[in-house]
Amino acid sequence: MAIILGIESSCDETAVALVTTQRQIIAERIASQTEAHAPYGGVVPEIAARAHAEKLAPMIADVMAEAGLDLADLDAVAATAGPGLIGGVMVGLVSAKALAMAADKPLLAINHLEGHALSPRLADARLQFPYALLLVSGGHCQILQVDGVGKYRRLATTIDDALGEAFDKSAKILGLGYPGGPALEQLALTGDARAVPLPRPLLKSKEPHFSFAGLKSAVLRAKESGEHQNADIAASFQHAAIDCLLDRLALSLDRCASLPALVVAGGVAANTAIRSALEGFAAKRNMAFSAPPMALCTDNAAMIAWAGAERFITGQSDPLDVSARPRWPLDPDAEPVRGAGAKA
Ligand code: KG4
Ligand code: ZN
């Protein structure tokens, strides 16, 4: 059994975790910066980087102390090396390099998206490759075929906003604050999903890509019309988003070899309505369904340590001069899509 220290600092969560190759989370810490960014309605990169620089080292000391471990007890050090806000990524990656050097242990520079992509395997030991992955977060909205560690084939992506971004922007329009995804989901529980006619962008289109910018604009128009309750707009938005997800997933899966399991990961995977819609969809297609527990959906360090563990087991490591990458697609061979905001 090997013990991996994982560090996550690519957005607005500073997180540290110790995870074993036996899927045990020995200790973890997570510090959210939500309050620091809330007055600005979104993440401010400079504030994020400064907060990571202040919080990270004491949090590493804390998890090591809680686990009763010394640097010498670690088998490898893993940190997010991208994609993300580059100042924050550099804080985490440079810290990991220093620790790996001091401990004389391998460094693993982790793609944050690979952390999300493999997170269901940390929670579910039965989940084998290959599987279909719906990766839905604040910065990404993709369908991938996961064939193994480091083997990803992108089947679909968004041509504009990510789904989490659409949740956050719609929540802001409804006055729900930032980050809005969880608040919008709560409000939707009390609304009528059929009350507000909203578009389903790209539904039935021939390429399986996503688009959410038009849906968000329709939410703005519905709000400004003054004709609808916020809860009805929230419920109708969520319903429209789910229709888009299922339609695009069906097309993506029809276009590739049959896959035994459907997996959802990323922050939006914490949404209960989306999880249950996906579970029903998978059941109809005779696919197993797997979703990580809520705490592993939104950004965390256990998933980074676990991606490190998966790569460590296969004998991989990275040199100490590895670069931090603001953009880092999981499938470098995927064609850029027209209209795509350059997200990865
Ligand atoms: O994976 P994550 O923590 O950070 C990124 O890598 O982007 O995802 C954060 C995103 C935010 O847009 C947030 O609003 C969304 O996930 N999110 C949700 C829910 N919980 C988090 N969206 C919808 N429903 C939720 N319950
Ligand atoms: Zn993330």
For every residue of 13-43, DSSP letters joined together read EEEEEEEETTS-EEEEEEEE-HHHHGGGTS-
Residues with CB under 5 A from ligand 2 (ion): 137, 299
Q: Whose CA is nearest to atom 16 of ligand 1?
A: 267
Q: What is the CATH number of domain 129-291?
A: 3.30.420.40
List, by residue range, all CATH 3.30.420.40 domains of the chain: 3-117+296-330, 129-291
The answer to whether 182 touches 295, Cβ cutoff 8 Å, is no
Q: Residue 179 has what pLDDT?
A: 79
Q: Residue 311 has what pLDDT?
A: 98
d(CA 183, CA 195): 19
Residues with CB under 6 A from ligand 1: 11, 137-139, 164, 167-168, 179-182, 185, 266-268, 270-271, 298-299
Q: For 36-40, 94-98, 208-212, which range has the lowest pLDDT when averaged over its residues?
A: 36-40
Q: Whose CA is nearest to atom 23 of ligand 1?
A: 181
Q: Whose CA is nearest to atom 3 of ligand 1?
A: 298
- Above 50 in pLDDT, residue 344? no
pTM score of the predicted model: 0.95
Q: Which CATH architecture has domain 3-117+296-330?
A: 2-Layer Sandwich (3.30)
Q: Residue 38 has what pLDDT?
A: 84
Compute CA distances 87 → 137, 163, 326, 336, 344, whole Å.
Answer: 20, 24, 9, 26, 16
Q: Residue 39 has what pLDDT?
A: 87
Higher pLDDT, 264 or 344: 264
Q: Residue 41 has what pLDDT?
A: 78
- β-pair partners for 50: none
**Interacting residues of 18 by C-beta distance below 8 A, sequence separation 6+:** 3, 4, 5, 6, 25, 26, 27, 28, 63, 64, 67, 69, 305
Which atom belonging to ligand 1 lies closest to the Cα atom of 180?
14
CA-closest candidate to residue 196, choices 176, 223, 161, 217? 223
Q: Residue 149 has what pLDDT?
A: 97
- Above 70 in pLDDT, residue 341? no
Q: What SS3 state is found at 159? A: coil
Task: Tell how far the Cα of 116 is from the centroid of ligand 2, in angstroms.
Answer: 7
For the chain, the average pLDDT equals 96
Task: Tell how far the Cα of 250 is from the centroid of ligand 2, in angstroms.
Answer: 24
Question: By CB neighbour count within 10 A (0-12 exposed, 13-18 middle, 19+ buried), where does 35 fall?
Answer: exposed
Q: Residue 343 has what pLDDT?
A: 47
Q: Residue 34 has what pLDDT?
A: 86
Read off the tokens for 73: 């007890």
The confidence band for 340, taking pLDDT boundaries of 50, 70 and 90, is low
> Phi and psi of 143, rounded to 5°?
-115, 125
d(CA 44, CA 147): 36
